[in-house]
Amino acid sequence: MADNFDGSKINSPDYWNKRFFEDWIAKGGRKQTAFFAELCCRELPDWFLAEGRARKSAIFDYGCALGDALPVLQRTFPNPPYPVKAGWVGVFLICSRGASILRWS
């Protein structure tokens, strides 16, 4: 897939369906997702983590790529995270990996 971005299409379901299907894994997208999830969780203030854990807050991973941030979020917060997807290819790939921490409602 050539990286010719049309600004009106970036982050659309069609863009992400194509990206996930064609080259997300080959370009290291899964490792990138996990890296940024770790970075995010590491930088959250202690008071925020304590409050989230005490309230057993639900975490929504909006635009969760292929679900590679979900294990990181699950280690950080008590409840399984909710992945929120826009594109069907990502949902299919997450489910095909047997991601047991997913919960849908």
pLDDT above 80: residue 15? yes
Specify the residue for token string 């489910």. Answer: 95
Q: What is the pLDDT of residues 29-57, one digit of tens each?
A: 999 999 999 999 999 999 999 998 888 88
pLDDT above 50: residue 105? no
Q: How far apart are CA 22 and CA 25, in angstroms?
A: 8
Q: How far apart are CA 90 and CA 84, in angstroms?
A: 10
What are the structural domain ranges in the chain? 27-96
Mean pLDDT for all residues in the chain: 78
Specify the residue for token string 């064609």. Answer: 22
Tokens of 49: 């983590």
